[in-house]
Amino acid sequence: MGKMNFTKRVLLCMGFVSVISDYAYPQMIISLGDFESGYGSWYQTEGYSDILSEQQNSFLRVGGDTAGGLLHGTFTGGEGVYSCRSRIVDVNGLADTDFRFYFQFQDDYNFYVVTMMPSDSDNPNVILGKYSDGNSIMIGQTLIGAMEFNEWFDFKVVRSFCNGRIDVYVNDSLWISRVDHEFQNYGKVGLGSYRTSVDFDNIRFEFLPERTFPFLESSSSRILCLGDTATVWCNYDCDSLLWSDGNTSDTVFVSSFDNIFLSAYVDGCPFNSDTIWFEYSTSPGGVELSDTSVCMGDTLKLFPAYSNLAYNFNWIGFPGIDTIEIVAMESMNYILVTSSINCSSDTYDTINVTVVGELIHGINLPCSISKEQEINFEPLLNDFEDYKEISWRIEDAFVYNSRFPEHTFQESGFSNVSLFVETVGGCVDSLDVGIQVGEDRMVGAVITPNNDGINDRLLFIGNSNSSSCTVYNRWGQIIWSRIGKYKSFDGYNGKGVALPAGTYFYEHRCESVNPMIELIPDIGYVTIIR
């Protein structure tokens, strides 16, 4: 199929291939000196092992035991190629000795192992098995010996996570190939033997080579108008393909506004994915800032998400301008108009700018405040916001990092109260007020209305002519009420009838002269004695 040159944007995802070749890999090669001494993340576990010398070449000998467990551990590895040169040493003339290679060893109950007995032993075979939660499971087996006693052979295990395949090679011949997905993570690598000894040399680990990357081609320009159709195909001879719309052929037709996504597979293993997208006059991409919240007075810059010569951009109310800088004083909508040069339609994108205004509406205080009276301070806040900090400074000396602090004034007179708040979005607000602290606080009082000039009446002093006072009996009925700065209760009801002796309750309401202070009524009782 012919291909046209055009500009396109592509996203690539990297993967790994499970096929092993003879050319160079990115390698991590461990020498026997490092293996035995513990350098390079290799370390020796329990069991007999020693470095021997044969014809000037050092190799590792692992002495077996009747348990046949892991005797010499190595680095932590996972997907890749494990290889070594080995031989089974018939030191004691035992026909049932074997070679063992452990990999992805999680613990004593979960690991993979390859077990090999020579062709002249009493049970020649090669076995790929695993222990899963302590249970022994054979994955694959060949019943023909792969080597002889005392002869060196090349051993290799190829482990690929992407398709779960495990391949076992002896002298470059594939003896066992199986798929098992259970342990797809890193684990210890180790060596072992049963009853006698095994020699190891040229021990190494190699990463799997990287995949070849397919990419997409198209028969159309990347600038499409509503209703246009384009053809997209994979330029690489993939074993199998899967497109985002479920299509598995090598060609898909683009007739909607969706991006095209390809996954390519080799031997059931996904080894690359690629994306191509077309720009439509109906989908210009909007603005860099979508719906946003800012603090009052902040400077906000709005501009198109990306520059494209196929479109003209301008904001409604700001003719011919594609970028505007505004001071956020109130919540507003800003509309970006995108005009396509190649197509006939315009599109609109709207950004809603929400301005966070006043955070502090005021504070709650008692109608009257006296020294040695415990005051509960309560802020009146914009409860639609989340706050990172709320703090108070009282009498210019006491700092409280609390929303509802408690404070007791020790002296009467004028005092300052400051409130500071900050939202999680970084908006701040503060309030400073002055309050008058009195000498004494009247909670309860006793009057004896017998006209002797002593305790005949109770005087309520408000802070303005609009303050009010109401007296209730024990059943909550209003028996007396007055409005004004000065209000005197002398034990008579509103009709001038003397009230019987007993305890009555009052509520004194004050009018705040500061609109940022909301005053809480004083509540107390008065006892009449006749």
Do the Cβ atoms of 219 and 8 come closer than 8 Å?
Answer: no
Average pLDDT of span 59-83: 85
Domains 10-16+211-278 and 444-528 alike in fold: yes
The dihedrals phi and psi of 245, each to the nearest 5 degrees, come to -90, 10
Quote the pLDDT of residue 112: 97
The whole-angstrom separation of Cα 469 and Cα 508 is 4
Instruction: Determine the CATH number of domain 360-438.
Output: 2.60.40.10
3-state secondary structure of 313: strand
Quote the pLDDT of residue 35: 59
Quote the pLDDT of residue 392: 93
Q: Is the pLDDT of residue 434 over 90?
A: no
What is the percentage of the chain residues whose pLDDT exceeds 90?
25
Parse the chain into domains and list their residue ranges: 10-16+211-278, 27-206, 292-352, 360-438, 444-528
Average pLDDT of span 399-403: 91
Summarised one tens digit per residue, pLDDT across range 452-480 is 888 888 888 777 788 899 999 999 999 99
Instruction: Determine the CATH number of domain 27-206.
Output: 2.60.120.560
Quote the pLDDT of residue 222: 60
Distances (CA, A) of 160 to 112, 178, 179, 437, 504: 14, 11, 9, 80, 88
The first and second tokens of residue 151, run together, are: 């002869």
Quote the pLDDT of residue 288: 46
State CA 150 to chain mean position distance: 57
Q: Is the pLDDT of residue 139 over 50?
A: yes
Quote the pLDDT of residue 308: 63
Average confidence score pLDDT of the chain: 79
Summarised one tens digit per residue, pLDDT across range 218-246 is 665 566 666 677 777 776 666 677 777 77
The whole-angstrom separation of Cα 393 and Cα 54 is 84
- The beta strands (E) that lie in 30-134 are given as 48-54, 57-63, 72-77, 80-89, 98-107, 110-117, 125-132
Quote the pLDDT of residue 27: 41
Residues 6+ apart with CB under 8 A from 285: 304, 305, 306
Tell me the CATH number of domain 10-16+211-278, given options 3.30.479, 3.30.530, 2.60.40, 1.10.3470.
2.60.40
Quote the pLDDT of residue 258: 63
Q: Is the pLDDT of residue 14 over 50?
A: no
Quote the pLDDT of residue 91: 74
Distances (CA, A) of 129 to 61, 75, 100, 175, 378: 23, 21, 11, 14, 71
Average pLDDT of span 125-151: 93
Instruction: Determine the CATH number of domain 444-528.
Output: 2.60.40
The dihedrals phi and psi of 486, each to the nearest 5 degrees, come to -115, 130
Q: What is the pTM of this model?
A: 0.43
3-state secondary structure of 328: coil
Q: Tell me which of 230-239, 283-292, 355-364 is least confident.
A: 283-292
